[in-house]
Amino acid sequence: MFTVQQHDATMPARAGMLKTVHGTIETPAFMPVGSLGTVKGIDPDELQSCGYGLILGNAYHLYLRPGHTLIAEQGGLHRFMQWPGAILTDSGGFQMVSLADLCRITEDGVGFKSHLDGSWHQLTPELCMDIQVALGSDIMMMLDHCPPYPSTESQAREALERTTRWAHRCLAVPRQDHQLLFGIIQGGVFPHLRQEAASQLLELEFDGYALGGLSLGEEKATMFQIIQDVTAKLPLDRPRYLMGVGLPEDLVEGVCRGVDMFDCVIPTRHGRTGWLFTSFGRVLIKKAQYARDEGPIDPDCACPVCQRYSRAYLRHLFVSNEMLGVRLNTLHNLWYYGTLMSKIRNAIRHGQLQEFRTQFYQARDPHGQDVSSDTVCV
Amino acid sequence: MFTVQQHDATMPARAGMLKTVHGTIETPAFMPVGSLGTVKGIDPDELQSCGYGLILGNAYHLYLRPGHTLIAEQGGLHRFMQWPGAILTDSGGFQMVSLADLCRITEDGVGFKSHLDGSWHQLTPELCMDIQVALGSDIMMMLDHCPPYPSTESQAREALERTTRWAHRCLAVPRQDHQLLFGIIQGGVFPHLRQEAASQLLELEFDGYALGGLSLGEEKATMFQIIQDVTAKLPLDRPRYLMGVGLPEDLVEGVCRGVDMFDCVIPTRHGRTGWLFTSFGRVLIKKAQYARDEGPIDPDCACPVCQRYSRAYLRHLFVSNEMLGVRLNTLHNLWYYGTLMSKIRNAIRHGQLQEFRTQFYQARDPHGQDVSSDTVCV
């Protein structure tokens, strides 16, 4: 189901194909986040036009609303949301900890108070699998115990060991033949714990491996070191998925360290706040300097927004809190991310990843005011 | 610029063509409201797919934000919002009274405190014309004095007489050759004042006549009687525009009484609140009865929403406060209104308006729970 077609000569980066019953996805790939059965404001045709064949759903959110049994009755999540491509569902372990009003993690699973109505729920590894089977996910994620950042070493160890025990339980739950299941490697910011977590999961029969618990506030350099060390340990023939990451530069750096899949709310959420991505850095559309700017967001962008609308109009929509602005900003950002991944894949296939990476950073003017403030340790 | 092509045999209804430099519009026509330079959540292609060639802008809103001079610098409102069709701009007299924090009407014009930042502005009939000239409107509306409902006869008389004096001032302002200017007939709910207002405006050179100050809370029967009486007095060769009206049944009844043009926020605003229009009455999508309903909003609707999505999914989006739901609901409602007007025009052209009207009401189940509660005096 996963084949690597091209390895980079000098870095662990690779280009491959991930087969699902809802289409084959070229990797490295970015997955837009559609937690509640919709990528906010964007329809399936638009997602496809941006080059996406795989998007994210969320078991926690869909379990609470509208309920996984309801979605199963409606023919599964693909049919419910009319998405013809593939779907990876996150287990929701992270959301329970971050969103729920109250959350108690025991050996049995995660008990939490719904952020919607305060009702009490207990999500076990088994229920979490059942939910994702009911949704009809192409790629299911195991329920993991994601420790907060910062955590002590003993907290991180407890979480990773529990994650391994839950991994066994998740694998024991029957799923449909075509449904892939990925394990999640925890271990906080402790290199030896990450190695331990990877070793334990590698003994099990997962279809792919995710790195969880990153981009939670640790230094970028720490994150990239962990990614590099962990992917070095993972089998070459299984996809690696870096969860919840990140900015464009994080995708470039993740790929260079052997990551195949990414998801993040950044292109959609930042779009809603008027933070637009371009090859030359970010454009904060609310700025007064764009009030009379007749040009597109990015003159080099071929997206339907840049082909049609001026910065002046987009700024007006943003300042006026108009929904069309949110929609257009989101569409542009998703197009940017989709195109970025396409360029990365092409660079790998042509043996030019390092050149691409250099150009990627050169295109950003370090003296310009619009370059992202998050500098990256390359 | 306006030609009536077909008169109904038994009612004052007519089908015609309104020519603008941005296209010819078949009448009777409904105009979606895009006060701030966008029909909320909907893009120009979608508006055209719903059959619209003429939409509404608002001088008050655009004067305050982003400013009419800015829009003029950007090549006018059509180019700014990338709308290839025609635009009618309302003068904003009604919005100043209803939205501004404070509003003082004098002979000079309307003084008001911006609802955005509390700044003080004075909008004269002349400035109001200048704004609409700057925007590049195809159809401009005169600044009128719209009395609130209820008003005393003397208040209504004062407003209509001032409106007539302002009409003279608006007509005296130079505008581009292709820009049409419509007069607005006031007079409250007093039949003789409406007649007086119409008489006064008919002596002037307006390209069309609007009925203002209706649907403000008066009885439907009162409104329809006024419409009927006023249109009977208007020249056959000028378009008649009923401002701010209304529900589907109001459009049918308005057409039967000789109205050619309508605008209203109902399809867009109701869409945002989950009130969906169908041939059999309204669907309130939030209702629990739709939670597992696999059918479309309206089985007889050819819109992209009904062709693709289930009521269950739309309800989920609505209940989850998801932006895609607002967008899809709005698109469906605009399609419904566009299709309704198309059916009305066809009925007039084929001499079957009365049959259409009968079927329109028969299709609604009076015993069903989903029929609009606003019953209409036919």
Interchain CB distance below 8 Å, A322 and B80: no
Model pLDDT for residues A95-130, shown as the tens digit of each residue: 888 888 889 999 999 999 999 999 999 999 999 999
Model pLDDT for residues B129-150, shown as the tens digit of each residue: 999 999 999 999 999 999 999 9
Pick the residue from chain A with its C-alpha nearest to B322: A40
Interchain CB distance below 8 Å, B41 and A291: no
What's the pLDDT band for B66 if we cut at 50, 70, 90? Answer: very high
Percentage of chain B modeled with pLDDT above 70: 96
Are A223 and A79 members of one domain? Answer: yes
Model pLDDT for residues A272-291, shown as the tens digit of each residue: 999 999 999 999 999 999 99
pLDDT at B367: 53
Residue B168 lies in a domain: yes
Query: Which residue bears the tokens 């049994």?
Result: A69
How far A66 CA lies from chain B's nearest CA (Å)?
6
Residue A371 lies in a domain: no
Mean pLDDT of chain A: 95
Interchain CB distance below 8 Å, A326 and B323: yes
| Structural domains in chain A (count) | 2
Model pLDDT for residues A287-334, shown as the tens digit of each residue: 999 999 999 999 999 999 999 999 999 999 999 999 999 999 999 999
Among the listed residues A130, A260, A263, A298, the single catalytic one is: A263
Are A246 and A349 members of one domain? Answer: no
Average pLDDT over residues B199-227: 97
Residue B202 lies in a domain: yes
Interchain CB distance below 8 Å, B324 and A291: no
Are A258 and A277 members of one domain? Answer: no
**For the whole model, what pTM was predicted?**
0.96
Interchain CB distance below 8 Å, A319 and B65: yes
Task: Measure CB to CB from residue A74 to each of B39, B312, B322 and give the nearest one.
Answer: B312
Q: Which of B35, B38, B293 should one mutate to test binding to chain A, selecting the residue with the greatest count of A CBs within 10 A? A: B38
Are A117 and A242 members of one domain? Answer: yes
pLDDT at A368: 45
The last residue of one of the domains, among B263, B280, B307, is B263
Pick the residue from chain B with its C-alpha nearest to A315: B66
> Which of 337-366 (B) contact A at CB < 8 A?
none
B101 catalytically annotated: no
Model pLDDT for residues A122-134, shown as the tens digit of each residue: 999 999 999 999 9
pLDDT at A93: 86
pLDDT at B99: 85
Contact B46, B330 (CB under 8 A): no
All residues of chain A having their beta carbon less than 8 Å from the beta carbon of residue B315 are 66
pLDDT at B98: 86
ipTM: 0.96
Interchain CB distance below 8 Å, A66 and B291: yes
pLDDT at A297: 98
Model pLDDT for residues B346-377, shown as the tens digit of each residue: 999 999 999 999 999 999 966 544 444 443 33
B265 touching chain A per CB within 8 A: no
How far B295 CA lies from chain A's nearest CA (Å)?
11
Pick the residue from chain A with its C-alpha nearest to B66: A316
Interchain CB distance below 8 Å, A327 and B327: yes
How far A210 CA lies from chain B's nearest CA (Å)?
28
Q: Check whether B343 has a pLDDT greater than 60.
A: yes
pLDDT at A283: 98
In whole angstroms, give the CA distance from residue A225 to residue A192: 12
Q: Which of B307, B313, B321 should one mutate to test binding to chain A, selecting the residue with the greatest count of A CBs within 10 A? A: B313
Contact B7, B27 (CB under 8 A): no
How far B39 CA lies from chain A's nearest CA (Å)?
8
Residue A330 lies in a domain: yes
Interchain CB distance below 8 Å, A70 and B291: yes
Average pLDDT over residues B108-131: 95
Q: Is the peptide bond before A28 cis (omega within 30 degrees of 0)?
A: yes
The last residue of one of the domains, among B237, B263, B289, is B263
| Residues of the domain holding B276 | 271-358
Are A94 and A183 members of one domain? Answer: yes
> Which of 35-64 (A) contact B at CB < 8 A?
36-43
All residues of chain A having their beta carbon less than 8 Å from the beta carbon of residue B292 are 70, 73-74
Are B222 and B86 members of one domain? Answer: yes
pLDDT at A151: 95
The last residue of one of the domains, among B232, B263, B294, is B263
Interchain CB distance below 8 Å, A38 and B82: no
All residues of chain A having their beta carbon less than 8 Å from the beta carbon of residue B37 are 313, 316-317
Are A132 and A164 members of one domain? Answer: yes
Q: Measured in whole angstroms, how far is the alpha carbon of residue B83 from the centre of its chain? A: 18
The structure tokens listed for B173 are 């302002």
Interchain CB distance below 8 Å, A327 and B322: no
Interchain CB distance below 8 Å, B73 and A292: yes
A263 catalytically annotated: yes
Are B108 and B138 members of one domain? Answer: yes
Are A10 and A150 members of one domain? Answer: yes
Q: What is the CATH number of the domain that holds A197?
A: 3.20.20.105
Q: Check whether A140 has a pLDDT greater than 50.
A: yes
Model pLDDT for residues B258-307, shown as the tens digit of each residue: 999 999 999 999 999 999 999 999 999 999 999 999 999 999 999 999 99
Pick the residue from chain B with its C-alpha nearest to A81: B313
Average pLDDT over residues B200-226: 97
Residue A378 lies in a domain: no
Are A255 and A278 members of one domain? Answer: no
Residue B377 lies in a domain: no
Task: Measure CB to CB from residue B66 to each of A40, A74, A291 and give the nearest one.
Answer: A291
pLDDT at A367: 53
pLDDT at A366: 63
Residue A374 lies in a domain: no
Average pLDDT over residues A43-52: 98
pLDDT at A101: 81
The 3-class SS string of chain A reads CEEEEEECCCCCCEEEEEEECCEEEEECEEECECCCCCCCCCCHHHHHHCCCCEEEEEHHHHHHCCCHHHHHHCCCHHHHHCCCCEEEEECCHHHHHHHCCEEEECCCCEEEECCCCCCEEEECHHHHHHHHHHHCCCEEECCCCCCCCCCCHHHHHHHHHHHHHHHHHHHHCCCCCCCEEEEEECCCCCHHHHHHHHHHHHCCCCCEEEECCCCCCCCHHHHHHHHHHHHHHCCCCCCEEECCECCHHHHHHHHHCCCCEEECCHHHHHHHCCEEEECCEEEECCCHHHCCCCCCCCCCCCCCCCCCCCHHHHHHHHHCCCHHHHHHHHHHHHHHHHHHHHHHHHHHHCCCHHHHHHHHHHCCCCCCCCCCCCCCCC
All residues of chain A having their beta carbon less than 8 Å from the beta carbon of residue B309 are 82
Task: Measure CB to CB from residue A310 to each of B74, B319, B323 and give the nearest one.
Answer: B74
Residue A375 lies in a domain: no
Model pLDDT for residues B234-257, shown as the tens digit of each residue: 999 999 999 999 999 999 999 999
Q: Check whether A136 has a pLDDT greater than 60.
A: yes
Are B179 and B245 members of one domain? Answer: yes
Are B109 and B246 members of one domain? Answer: yes
